[in-house]
A = this chain, B = another copy of it.
Amino acid sequence: MMSAMHTPTLYRQWADHYAQAIHSGALPPGERMPSLRDLMARHAVSLSTAVQLCRTLEREGLLEARPRAGYFVRPRRPLASLQEPQPSAPDVAQYVGIHQRVSEVLALSQRYPAKVNLSGSCGAPSLYPGAALRLATQRALRAQPDIFSQPLAMAGCAPFLQALAQHALDAQMTLSPDELVVTHGCTEALTLALRAVAQPGEVIAVESPTYYGLLQILESLGLQALEIPASPHTGLSLEALEMAARQCPGLKAVAVTPNLHNPLGCVMPDAHKRQLLRWCQRHDIALIEDNTYTPLYDAGPPLAAIKAWDDSGQVIVCSSLHKILAPGLRLGWIAGGKWHERIAMLKYSQSRPNELLPQLAMTDYLSSGALPRHLSTLKRTLRHQREQMADAVDRLFPAGCRFSLPPGGMSIWVELPGELSSLAVFHAALQQGIRISPGVMFSNAGRVDHCLRLNAGLPYTREVDRAMHTLAQVIEHTLNQAPAGRGKATHA
């Protein structure tokens, strides 16, 4: 960046640097500029250079000064020639208390159209039994002509609860239909579990990194996330949990994804599952278990849920059919253990029971016996796609990148070399029409800011391959821009 070919003045050099960051979107509209003190320290310049740098960018229309708050990247004005209305960056003040960083990344992802979306955690539509579910829906419509006109019973849809209880047996959970509540995806299940066991201000232990949706829920409910390091091989560190709990006596719950963790893809060994359960029982701490990906394990016999060993109602299971059967349906469920009644009432109070039609259609599908065959095809396809994507990372990404190859699911987790900012990569990739999930979303503690998650749920087409090439270049480029002493040099 800082070529010395014709040595412009120092403030001009740095002004150009920031102008480029702004144009690239790395410093998005609305973003706060580093303070004058920060600029001085970062670039080893004098106060007057820092001031001149900011004033220059202000004159050029890139920054605006806000009284007592400093300089901010100016919201973009629509250019006359521009076709699509230029999407403005979200106003982050809107997201205070809903996890600002995660919300901002999500909102930006929404506003910039992506040609190739590698940010999700979901299979391609072709991997799901859409036609069978459509037929099942038509059958349900014929069987229950009154379906849209009957008010919904608080107790839910008995045949679907029954089908879910049966499905849960695959993960060795023996649940009675009347201890289940149907929810809007695992997301609502997690929301309800947390609302049931904790009050605002209280502390919940989570894996670090963890699913960003959980961080959003926690913060928006006013709960404190206590991040416990998770191993990419065995998940949550039980020693770290015990240590943390000793320092934080009011712990209300531990929320984990023991099987095919998002984003790491790891599986907690059965011995750890039992140990964690006993520990939670002993300390009367709720164990919130997210089983979203459990059926997608393909490296051996089916995985057991922690709930399989729960003899006291300490485990709240949250799950969903989203990832395995129907990304376009919001069918989740929760088994609340000893908090069941409370959770059922919170569900009623928050959104009322789920609609019947999708539940009846899914019951029809599940009882047709088609699930095992579908799952085995799905798992085979996902495995192949994971291998292809991991292979591309291996071939294309700069030296020093490391990646996971998990035993199921669709996520590839990539560690970038050095302390490269995944947020910079995210912004630069977005400019190229490629969407990824930057590591910063998965932890408050900054432990994985240099990582990113890729979705191997899509068939590895030419277009995806091209996107992987572009992404590799973006990473390379971002590496080269990283200040000396960080980035590739130290790791190549």
A interface residues (Cβ-Cβ under 8 A, vs B): 1-3, 17-18, 20-21, 24-28, 31-32, 38, 41-44, 90-91, 94-95, 97-99, 103, 106-107, 110, 120, 122, 125-131, 133-134, 137-138, 141, 145-152, 154-155, 162, 165-166, 168-170, 172, 174-178, 183-185, 187-188, 191, 195, 199-200, 213, 216-217, 220, 222, 270, 300-302, 304, 308-309, 326-330, 339, 341-342, 345-346, 348-352, 354-358, 369, 372, 376
Given A43-B302, A141-B138, A154-B106, check contact A352 B149 (CB 8 Å): no
B-chain residues with CB within 8 Å of residue A355 when the two chains form the complex: 328-330, 358
Q: Which of B176, B328, B346 contacts A152 (CB 8 A)?
A: B328
A177 vs chain B, min Cβ distance (A):
6
Please determine whether B43 and A184 come into contact, CB atoms closer than 8 angstroms. no
A448 vs chain B, min Cβ distance (A):
20
Given A222-B200, A342-B98, A355-B358, check contact A110 B155 (CB 8 Å): yes
Given A122-B151, A220-B349, A351-B188, check contact A1 B172 (CB 8 Å): yes
B-chain residues with CB within 8 Å of residue A98 when the two chains form the complex: 342, 345-346, 349
A76 vs chain B, min Cβ distance (A):
14
Please determine whether B166 and A26 come into contact, CB atoms closer than 8 angstroms. yes
Choose among A98, A168, A376 the residue with the greatest number of B CB atoms under 10 Å from its CB: A98
Please determine whether A42 and B372 come into contact, CB atoms closer than 8 angstroms. yes
Considering the complex, give the chain B residue whose CB is closest to the CB of A97: B199
Choose among A18, A27, A348 the residue with the greatest number of B CB atoms under 10 Å from its CB: A348
Please determine whether B146 and A125 come into contact, CB atoms closer than 8 angstroms. yes
Give 23 A-B contacts (CB < 8 Å), ordered by A residue.
A1-B308, A1-B309, A21-B174, A24-B176, A25-B165, A38-B372, A41-B372, A41-B376, A42-B372, A94-B341, A125-B149, A130-B149, A134-B147, A147-B328, A148-B326, A149-B328, A151-B328, A184-B352, A185-B351, A191-B349, A200-B222, A220-B350, A328-B355
Given A25-B177, A341-B94, A342-B95, check contact A187 B328 (CB 8 Å): no
Given A98-B346, A106-B348, A149-B128, check contact A165 B26 (CB 8 Å): yes
Given A1-B304, A145-B131, check contact A150 B351 (CB 8 Å): no
